[in-house]
């Protein structure tokens, strides 16, 4: 897998907001059919990193490549058009719209009604329901239900199914399981695996080590905006990952991480963790 | 198609408005001794509803899209004064007067829409600005041009027939316009992709834009629709009553917002229906005008409106929650 051209690659990406440097020299590759878990403490820069990938922010310097070609996104729409889809924490952003209607916002199916083209509610509902059922969420069977009436896990699942339906190649999930109970979270994790099976690259942010271990193939740890560790599944133990997820604080191998970091960053250490 | 089960009706945005309507009529019958035949046979509240309804419809759509337009209060007298000045005072053909009246609506709507999309100022403030500015322009303009704050107009028969006749001696033709516009808006808002965009924008403008919806265009269109509808109502009034005054119109702001909210439109946007706005307007009109058919002193009508508004909003809130829950299903355990 790793021999192929990565779907998405970052080379020395930096991002600062005015005087505040948030990301430092991030280089990272994401391959199709791979789940990359992005780990790190609060404020480490995970959300900033994925927003940069999703076209919300532009990198201050550095390049982003898709399939080996350099890309630059002016707007989130540009990233979406290239197949980079972000699912927000609460899934559907239109809680008061029906499943069918929100699924097709902006790309509504129509049918002829006399001289008019009207919204094809039946097709929209059926397609949306089928898309999410294909992901194993069979409890969603009525496209006229409002998004706000779905559980958090169902909403996430629907949003992921939607992204996949519209041809996403990179799926970005920012803490999709954060607000969910055990059962709901396992639904979402299963869907992440299903998306991976379909050949998508998934970037998955989580603070829960169990969730990361359950689906991750590739782990990247951010500490204070720098890439402190970048390893594949099986290369580190669960304990090491747990420690890393705490942001590199209070761990046995803190020094080795910093050393490793300094090697790759011309001897300048990450800013100390407060 | 939808089954008209009570449970399903309760989940629709217009449920609160329909129940409010029934409650208000029942209240007037029980406590006001209203004779329903007299009430339903009367033109006064229907005329009132139609004039208000044409303004409330686009205002409701703006509110669904997460915006507000209070400049309608100035656009009604602006519409009637401009046609009266152009075709009455200056004696130009009535079509010119109409074009000026409606054109003024387009212009003010564009200003509102452009300011709302190009700045981050809330549309309440923007349209408060255009409201006051237009009031000034209408008053100063009329006095400057005609030396008067009231201008007569005599419209030709064909214009009266279309915009300003009384059907059956007391029903304003604008009722027909209101019903036709309601039907048109039902079609556009609930059955076209464009309508879906309006709801998406009210739900989350940023996501709607990212989904490829031309949110600025839609917003500007809605503001134009709102201002034009208001000047249309003013124009029809001038044609019907053969004169125009610079005053009046301010009540419409309050009345239309209440109608829309009673009609089940969520104040923060993203939820509502055209039929809800329609029934909300009807309800408001019955409360406001139906009081004359009761033994109740009409000074109480504001109290009734206030209570009805609160009840309707409470109902709408619980119905919206209900709408979020799954439909009842017969599940074998
Ligand atoms: N638009 C911005 N302007 C200025 N600073 C910002 C901006 N966005 C993020 N930051 C800063 O960048 C740092 C990283 O924030 P980010 O949201 O990326 O962290 P995170 O890793 O996602 O944290 P969490 O786990 O809490 O979600 C924070 O210190 C934050 O204050
Ligand atoms: Mg974050």
How far off is chain A from B264, nearest CA to CA, in Å?
13
Residues above pLDDT 70, as percent of chain B: 95
Q: Which residue is it, tokens 């209101």? A: B178
Bridge partners for A271 per DSSP: none
pLDDT in tens, B277-315: 999 999 999 988 888 888 888 788 888 888 888 888 888
Q: Do A108 and B196 touch (CB under 8 A)?
A: yes
* DSSP string for A103-159: HTTTS--EEEETTEEEE-HHHHHHHHHHHHHTTT-TT---TTSBGGGS-HHHHHHHH
The CATH code of the domain at B3-325 is 1.10.3470
Give distance in angstroms: CA of B109 to centre of ligand 2. Answer: 40
| Least confident piece of the model among A159-163, A172-176, A258-262, B141-145 | A258-262
pLDDT at A21 over 50: yes
In chain A the first and final C-alpha atoms are separated, in Å, by 38
In chain B the first and final C-alpha atoms are separated, in Å, by 27
With a 6 A CB cut-off, is A113 part of the ligand 1 pocket? no
Of B90 and B7, which is predicted with more confidence?
Answer: B90
Q: What integer pLDDT is reported at residue B202 of this predicted model?
A: 94
pLDDT at A138 over 50: yes
**Average pLDDT value over all residues in chain B:** 90
Give distance in angstroms: CA of A48 to centre of ligand 2. Answer: 7
pLDDT at B161 over 60: yes
Q: What integer pLDDT is reported at residue B331 of this predicted model?
A: 40
Q: What integer pLDDT is reported at residue A228 of this predicted model?
A: 87
Q: In the structure, what pLDDT confidence band is assigned to residue A25 with cuts at 50, 70 and 90?
A: very high
Residue A41 CA: nearest ligand 1 atom is 25
Measure CB to CB from residue B210 to each of A76, A116, A119 and give the nearest one. A76
Task: Give me the mean pLDDT over the B58-72 stretch.
Answer: 97
Task: Give me the mean pLDDT over the A4-17 stretch.
Answer: 92
Q: What integer pLDDT is reported at residue B32 of this predicted model?
A: 85
| Least confident piece of the model among A69-73, A270-274, B106-110, B175-179 | A270-274
With a 6 A CB cut-off, is A2 part of the ligand 1 pocket? no
Hey, where are the domains in chain A? Answer: 1-27+58-69, 94-165, 238-268
pLDDT in tens, A155-212: 888 888 998 899 899 999 988 888 788 888 888 899 899 999 999 999 999 888 888 9
Task: Give me the mean pLDDT over the A135-147 stretch.
Answer: 88
Ligand 1, atom 26, residue with closest C-alpha:
A42
Give distance in angstroms: CA of B224 to centre of ligand 1. Answer: 40
Task: Give me the mean pLDDT over the B206-230 stretch.
Answer: 94
Q: Which of A36-40, A85-89, A233-237 is most confident?
A: A36-40
With a 6 A CB cut-off, is A46 part of the ligand 1 pocket? yes
How far off is chain B from A212, nearest CA to CA, in Å?
28
Give distance in angstroms: CA of A26 to centre of ligand 1. Answer: 15
Q: In the structure, what pLDDT confidence band is assigned to residue A256 with cuts at 50, 70 and 90?
A: low
Q: What integer pLDDT is reported at residue A102 of this predicted model?
A: 92
Q: Which of A13, A44, A53 to mutate to test the pocket of ligand 1 (most atoms within 8 A of CB)?
A: A44
Q: In the structure, what pLDDT confidence band is assigned to residue B330 with cuts at 50, 70 and 90?
A: very low
Task: Give me the mean pLDDT over the A223-228 stretch.
Answer: 89
pLDDT at B329 over 50: no
Task: Give me the mean pLDDT over the B186-214 stretch.
Answer: 92
Measure CB to CB from residue A105 to each of B196, B271, B320 and give the nearest one. B196
Q: In the structure, what pLDDT confidence band is assigned to residue A241 with cuts at 50, 70 and 90?
A: confident
Task: Give me the mean pLDDT over the B218-233 stretch.
Answer: 98
Q: Answer whether 0.95 is exceeded by the pTM.
A: no
Of B8 and A36, which is predicted with more confidence?
Answer: A36
Q: What integer pLDDT is reported at residue A91 of this predicted model?
A: 56
pLDDT at A244 over 90: no
């Amino acid at each position: 897998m790793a021999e192929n051209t990565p779907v998405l690659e970052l080379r020395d990406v930096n991002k600062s907001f005015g005087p505040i440097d948030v990301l430092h020299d991030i280089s990272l590759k994401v391959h199709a059919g791979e789940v990359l878990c992005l780990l790190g403490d609060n404020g480490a820069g995970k959300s900033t990193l994925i927003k940069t990938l999703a076209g919300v922010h532009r990198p201050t310097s550095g390049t982003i490549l898709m399939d080996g070609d350099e890309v630059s996104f002016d707007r989130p729409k540009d990233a979406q058009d290239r197949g980079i889809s972000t699912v927000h924490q609460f899934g559907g952003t239109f809680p008061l719209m029906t499943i069918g209607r929100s699924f097709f916002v902006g790309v509504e199916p129509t049918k002829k009604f006399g001289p008019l083209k009207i919204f094809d509610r039946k097709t929209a509902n059926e397609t949306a329901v089928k898309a999410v059922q294909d992901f194993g969420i069979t409890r969603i069977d009525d496209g006229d239900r409002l998004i706000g009436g779905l559980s958090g896990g169902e909403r996430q699942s629907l949003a992921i199914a939607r992204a996949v339906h519209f041809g996403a190649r990179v799926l970005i999930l920012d803490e999709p399981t954060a607000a969910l109970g055990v059962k709901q979270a396992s639904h979402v994790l299963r869907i992440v695996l299903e998306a991976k099976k379909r050949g998508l690259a998934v970037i998955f942010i989580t603070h829960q080590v169990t969730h990361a271990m359950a689906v991750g193939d590739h782990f990247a740890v951010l500490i204070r905006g720098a890439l402190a560790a970048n390893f594949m599944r099986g290369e580190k133990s669960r304990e090491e990952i747990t420690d890393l997820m705490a942001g590199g604080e209070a761990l046995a191998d803190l020094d080795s991480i910093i050393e490793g970091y300094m090697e790759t960053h011309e001897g300048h250490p990450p800013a100390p963790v407060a | 198609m939808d089954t008209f089960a009570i449970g399903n009706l309760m989940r629709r945005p217009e449920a609160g408005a329909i129940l409010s309507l029934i409650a208000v009529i029942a209240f007037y019958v029980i406590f006001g001794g209203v004779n329903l035949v007299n009430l339903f046979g009367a033109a006064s509240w229907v005329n009132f509803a139609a004039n208000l309804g044409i303004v409330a419809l686009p205002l409701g759509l703006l509110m669904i899209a997460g915006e507000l337009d209070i400049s309608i209060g100035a656009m009604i007298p602006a519409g009637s004064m401009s046609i009266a000045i152009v075709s009455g005072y200056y004696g130009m053909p009535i079509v010119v007067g109409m074009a000026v009246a409606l054109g003024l609506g387009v212009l003010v709507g564009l200003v509102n829409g452009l300011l709302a999309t190009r700045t981050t100022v809330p549309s309440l403030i923007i349209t408060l600005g255009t409201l006051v500015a237009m009031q000034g322009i209408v008053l100063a303009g009329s006095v400057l041009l005609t030396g008067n704050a009231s201008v007569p107009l005599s419209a030709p028969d064909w214009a009266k027939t279309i915009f300003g006749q009384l059907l059956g001696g007391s029903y304003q033709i604008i009722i027909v316009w209101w019903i036709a516009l309601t039907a048109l808006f039902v079609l556009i808002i609930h059955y076209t992709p464009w309508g879906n965009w309006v709801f998406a924008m009210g739900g989350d403008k940023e996501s709607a834009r990212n989904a490829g919806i031309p949110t600025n265009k839609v917003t500007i269109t809605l503001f134009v629709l709102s201002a034009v509808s208001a000047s249309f109502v003013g124009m029809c009034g001038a044609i019907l009553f053969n004169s125009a005054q610079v005053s009046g119109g301010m009540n419409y702001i309050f009345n239309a917002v209440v109608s829309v909210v009673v009609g089940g439109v969520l104040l923060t946007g993203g939820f509502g229906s055209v039929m809800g706005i329609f029934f909300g307007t009807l309800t408001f009109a019955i409360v406001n005008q139906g009081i004359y058919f009761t033994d109740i002193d009409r000074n109480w009508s504001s109290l009734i409106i206030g209570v009805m508004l609160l009840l309707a909003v409470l109902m709408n809130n619980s119905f919206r929650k209900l709408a979020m829950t799954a439909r009842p299903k017969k599940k074998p355990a």
